[in-house]
C-alpha cells in the first residue's frame, strides 16, 4: 500500500471566471510553502435535543460545509504572491509609468530633489511612497538606482536617497515608476475574485479540491537573521471535492525567484529609516465570510467586509519619541521596501501604510541579562485609515508596489 509522504505534493491556485464556475486545466500557480495550515473542510455536528427515558442520545446530523485554508507559511519572493496581494486588497495592478522630456521639458537635480522645468509629476501619476528610477539621465551617478518618493509637488519629486546634484538641464532623461502598484480602490472599483485551490498529493495521486475560495488575509513578518515571511489565508463557500488520478489544475507554474531576507529590507517609519527593529509584522484582512443559509449544504457566496490593517513593531529603545508619539496621537506613515540580493536597480516589493497613529508603546522590563531594552508598538485596525492627505498621495490604507511587470 502507498502512503502519502510529507513533502511530495503541492498546493496550486487558479483564478475562476466567476463565482460558482470552478477553474480547471492549465494556467495555475503553485503556492510556495514552508508549511502552514492546509485547506480544511468542516461540518457542524447538529445534536438532537430529544429527551429519552432510557438516557440514550439520538444521532444528529451534519450541518453546512465550511472551508478555510491557511495561513500557508511562505517565504516572500518576486511574483509568487502577486495574485494573492491583489485579491486581498480587492484592487487591480496598474501599469508602469514613464515620464520623458515630453512631460517635463528638462530636469535638474538637488541633493534629494528632481525638479521639472515644466509639467506636473502629480498629474503624470507619481505619488508619495512610490519607488522610481532614472533609466536614462545625463548625470550617470543618478542612473539605474531605486529612489523612494517622500514628497511630490507640482514641480518637484523629493526622494529619501541622496542624488548627485546637477543644475544642468537634462533633456534626455526618463523617470520611471517601476513595475506595478495595487491600492485599496475607490467605491465602485472593488473587485471580488474567486479561486479554485487544489492541494495535490502526488504519492497517492489524489486531491483535495476547493472551489469558490476568496483570499481573506495576508501577513508579512520579519525577524533578525530570517527571511521575510508571507502568510495568506482564504475562505471558501464549502464547495469541495476529493478526487483521484491526475491533478485538476494541470501543470501549474512554480515561480522560482529567490526568497527575500530581512537584512536587505528598509523600513521607513515617520519619515525616518529605522535600522534598530527586532520584530515586525503587518496584516491586511478584508473580513471575508461565507454566510450560512437554509436549504443548502454550502454557502452561495463569500463576501468581504472592510479592508483592515494591523501592525506590530519591536524597536531598540533609544529615546522617548515613540512614547511621546503615542501620548500625543502623532500621525505616522510606514514604508517597507523588500529587495532581492542583487545589483541596483534591485527587484523589490514595497509595502506602504501611509496614515496611522500608535496604539501603544510598551517598554520591556529591566533585566540582568545583556542587551538593550525595547519598545513594542501596537497599531490596531482602528488606528489605521485611508489617506485623505491630497492628490500627491494614494487615498488608500495600504498600497503595494512590485518591480516586476508580469
pLDDT in tens, 318-356: 999 999 999 999 999 999 999 999 999 999 999 999 999
The answer to whether 350 and 335 have CB atoms below 8 angstroms apart is yes
128 grid coordinates = 508619495
* CA-CA-CA-CA torsion sign (96, 100, 103, 104): positive
The answer to whether 360 and 322 have CB atoms below 8 angstroms apart is no
Q: What is the pLDDT of residues 32-87, one digit of tens each?
A: 999 999 999 999 999 999 999 999 999 999 999 999 999 999 999 999 999 999 99
Q: How many helices and strands (H and E) does the chain possess?
A: 4, 28
Q: Answer yes or no: is pLDDT of 290 > 90.
A: yes
Q: What is the pLDDT of residue 1?
A: 87
Name the pLDDT band for 185 (thresholds 50, 70, 90): very high
Domains along the chain? 9-41+61-93+184-402 (no CATH), 97-178 (2.40.30)
d(CA 323, CA 31): 40
d(CA 307, CA 302): 15
Helix (H) or strand (E) segment spanning residue 89? helix 82-89
d(CA 377, CA 362): 7
Task: Give the mean pLDDT of the chain.
Answer: 96
Nearest to 220 by CA among 263, 179, 279, 273: 279
Q: Which whole number is the average pLDDT over 148-160?
A: 97
Q: What is the pLDDT of residue 42?
A: 95
Q: Which whole number is the average pLDDT over 162-170?
A: 97
Q: Which whole number is the average pLDDT over 260-289?
A: 96
Amino acid at each position: 500500500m502507498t502512503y502519502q509522504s510529507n513533502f511530495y505534493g503541492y498546493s496550486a491556485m487558479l483564478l475562476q471566471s466567476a463565482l460558482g464556475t470552478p477553474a480547471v486545466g492549465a494556467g495555475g500557480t503553485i503556492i510556495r510553502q514552508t508549511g502552514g495550515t492546509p485547506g480544511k473542510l468542516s461540518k457542524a455536528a447538529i445534536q438532537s435535543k430529544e429527551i429519552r427515558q432510557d438516557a440514550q442520545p439520538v444521532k444528529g446530523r451534519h450541518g453546512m460545509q465550511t472551508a478555510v485554508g491557511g495561513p500557508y507559511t511562505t517565504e516572500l519572493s518576486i511574483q509568487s504572491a502577486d495574485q494573492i496581494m491583489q485579491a486581498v486588497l480587492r484592487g487591480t495592478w496598474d501599469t508602469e509609468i514613464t515620464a520623458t522630456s515630453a512631460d517635463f521639458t528638462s530636469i535638474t537635480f538637488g541633493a534629494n530633489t528632481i525638479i521639472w522645468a515644466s509639467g506636473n509629476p502629480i498629474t503624470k501619476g507619481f505619488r508619495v511612497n512610490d519607488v522610481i528610477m532614472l533609466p536614462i539621465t545625463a548625470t550617470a551617478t543618478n542612473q539605474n538606482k531605486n529612489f523612494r518618493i517622500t514628497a511630490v509637488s507640482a514641480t518637484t519629486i523629493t526622494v529619501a536617497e541622496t542624488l548627485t546634484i546637477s543644475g544642468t538641464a537634462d533633456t534626455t532623461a526618463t523617470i520611471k515608476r517601476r513595475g506595478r502598484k495595487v491600492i485599496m480602490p475607490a467605491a465602485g472599483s472593488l473587485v471580488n475574485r474567486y479561486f479554485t485551490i487544489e492541494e495535490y498529493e502526488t504519492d497517492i495521486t489524489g486531491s483535495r479540491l476547493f472551489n469558490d475560495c476568496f483570499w481573506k488575509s495576508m501577513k508579512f513578518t520579519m525577524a533578525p537573521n530570517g527571511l521575510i515571511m508571507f502568510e495568506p489565508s482564504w475562505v471558501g463557500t464549502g464547495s469541495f471535492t476529493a478526487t483521484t488520478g491526475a491533478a485538476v489544475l494541470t501543470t501549474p507554474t512554480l515561480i522560482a525567484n529567490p526568497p527575500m531576507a530581512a537584512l536587505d529590507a528598509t523600513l521607513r517609519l515617520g519619515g525616518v529609516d529605522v535600522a534598530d527593529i527586532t520584530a515586525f509584522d503587518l496584516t491586511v484582512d478584508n473580513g471575508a465570510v461565507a454566510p450560512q443559509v437554509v436549504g443548502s449544504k454550502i454557502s452561495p457566496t463569500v463576501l468581504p467586509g472592510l479592508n483592515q490593517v494591523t501592525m506590530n513593531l519591536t524597536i531598540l529603545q533609544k529615546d522617548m519619541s515613540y512614547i511621546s508619539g503615542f501620548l500625543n496621537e502623532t500621525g505616522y506613515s510606514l514604508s517597507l521596501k523588500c529587495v532581492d540580493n542583487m545589483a541596483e536597480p534591485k527587484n523589490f516589493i514595497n509595502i506602504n501604510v501611509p496614515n496611522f497613529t500608535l496604539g501603544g508603546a510598551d517598554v520591556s522590563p529591566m533585566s540582568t541579562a545583556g542587551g538593550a531594552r525595547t519598545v513594542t508598538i501596537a497599531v490596531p485596525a482602528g488606528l489605521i485609515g485611508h489617506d485623505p492627505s491630497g492628490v500627491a498621495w494614494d487615498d488608500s490604507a495600504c498600497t503595494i508596489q512590485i518591480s516586476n511587470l508580469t
